[in-house]
Amino acid sequence: MPITNDDIARGLRQHPAQISPKYFYDQRGSELFEDITRLPEYYPTRTENAIMQRHAADIAQAVGPGRTVIELGAGNCSKAEALCRMVRPACFVGVDISADFLAEAVERLRRTCAPLDARAVAGDLTQGVVLPSDIPRTGRLVFYPGSSIGNFDPPHALALLAHMRELAGADGALLIGIDLPKDVGVLEAAYDDAAGVTAAFNLNVLAHVNRLIGSDFDLGQWRHRAFFNAAEARIEMHLEAAEPCEVHWPGGSRRFAAGERIHTENSYKYALPTFTDMLARAGFARTQAWTDERGWFAVLHARP
């Protein structure tokens, strides 16, 4: 599955400019995301892990043993490790755009969860997930934690869920984490931490883009911005030009006025009934959900 980046220059020419959040994840971006998950303000990872631990027996019963677990956006595989201990799969396939970071994580998983047939598949899940032909077609569990589904606008999220339904197969299932609506202060702090790690993560996308398309973004000219857009029920992350600047790349250029932004990420927050309805429309009619005491996050097991 080749990873192309033709969309970057296109996005930079748009008004407002945009860069897909998938370009956050070069090696440094993956490491910075790992740092984010440990921040006091970043509740999603901690909350999702606590739900998985607290309801481990129920989740294990719903999933069943001996599955082929396919994790999309597997990252450092730390959630995969917890899940594998819980459900004892026959096979694990981690899919991620950050190829080297994933390969190391899967190698670690192979050791910590031995004997486990664990595979790393580098690829862009927005281009359709293509698995090696020897991956079993039955007994699949698609695992998509971290509320990453929130990075897609609702129509694209629905299309991706429908793709997961295909990937899971007739006897398969989906285990997915979603971030629920909550106090705006809590949400905004999670995406704009006091230590500036999320700011560094957001800015790093420009360094990655410079390498991918040969552009000349000067990171010092850009500031991190994150806020809740209530009308769209989403956190938005942007990079804002601190001063007028011009960016060049082979075949193009763009002037930015001071205060002009590049939109780098959305993170939609779904109420549980809205998301359950979306799952049903994607072909997952039967769902079981677990949440934390504060109702901040939910883990859902969904079957056709």
Ligand X SMILES: C[S@@+](CC[C@H](N)C(=O)[O-])C[C@H]1O[C@@H](n2cnc3c(N)ncnc32)[C@H](O)[C@@H]1O
Q: Is 157 in the site for ligand X (CB under 6 A)?
A: no
Nearer to ligand X, 59 or 241 (CB): 59
In degrees and rounded to multiples of 5, residue 269 shows phi and psi of -110, 120
Which ranges constitute the DSSP H helices of 237-293? 272-281
> Is 139 among the residues that bind ligand X (CB under 6 A)?
no
Shortest gap between Cβ of 257 and ligand X (angstroms)?
Answer: 30
Q: Is 198 in the site for ligand X (CB under 6 A)?
A: no
Q: How many CA atoms lie within 13 A of 243 on its CB side?
A: 6
Binding segment for ligand X among 29-37, 198-206, 260-268, 281-289 (CB under 6 A)?
A: 29-37
Region near ligand X per CB under 6 A, out of 93-101, 200-208, 231-239, 277-285: 93-101
Task: Report the residue number, 146 or 172, with the smaller CB distance to ligand X.
Answer: 146
Footprint of ligand X on 56-75 (CB under 6 A): 73-75
Sheet strand arrangement including 222-229:
17-18, 261-268, 234-241, 222-229
Torsion of CA 107, 112, 117, 118, to 10 degrees: -40
Among 98, 215, 267, 276, binds ligand X (CB under 6 A): 98
Which distant-in-sequence residues (6+ apart) come within 8 Å of 133 by Cβ? none
Compute the distance between CA of residue 206 and CA of residue 100 in angstroms, rounded to an integer. 20
Instruction: Considering the complex, state which of residue 33 and residue 284 has its C-beta at the smaller distance from ligand X.
Output: 33
Instruction: Give the count of residues interacting with ligand X (CB under 6 A).
Output: 19
Report the residue number, 97 or 178, with the smaller CB distance to ligand X.
97
Q: How far is the CB of 108 from ligand X (least distance, A)?
A: 14
**Out of 12, 17, 45, 180, which residue is the one contacting ligand X (CB under 6 A)?**
45
Q: Does 94 bind ligand X (CB under 6 A)?
A: no
Residue 33 tokens, joined:
């995301």
Taking the least distance from each CB to ligand X, the nearer of 162 and 280 is 162
The smaller minimum CB distance to ligand X, of residues 33 and 296, is found at 33
By the 10 Å C-beta count (0-12 exposed, 13-18 middle, 19+ buried), 240 is classed as middle
Q: Which span (50-58, 122-130, 222-230, 246-254) binds ligand X, by CB under 6 A?
A: 122-130
CB of 246 to ligand X, least distance (A): 29
* 265 contacts ligand X (rule: CB under 6 A): no
Q: Which is closer to ligand X, CB of 74 or CB of 173? A: 74
Dihedral-angle region of residue 299 (phi above 0 means left; psi in -120 to 50 means alpha; beta otherwise): beta
Q: Which is nearer to ligand X, 105 or 279 (CB)?
A: 105
Cβ contact 145:78 at 8 Å: no
Phi, psi for residue 135 in degrees, rounded to 5:
-75, 125
Contact between 86 and 74 under an 8 Å Cβ cutoff? The reply is: no
Residue 146: count other Cβ atoms within 10 Å of its Cβ.
Answer: 24
Beta bridge partners of 255: 246
Q: Give the position of tokens 């790093």.
A: 204
Residues near ligand X (CB under 6 A) are 22, 25, 30, 33, 37, 45, 73-75, 79, 96-98, 124-126, 145-146, 148
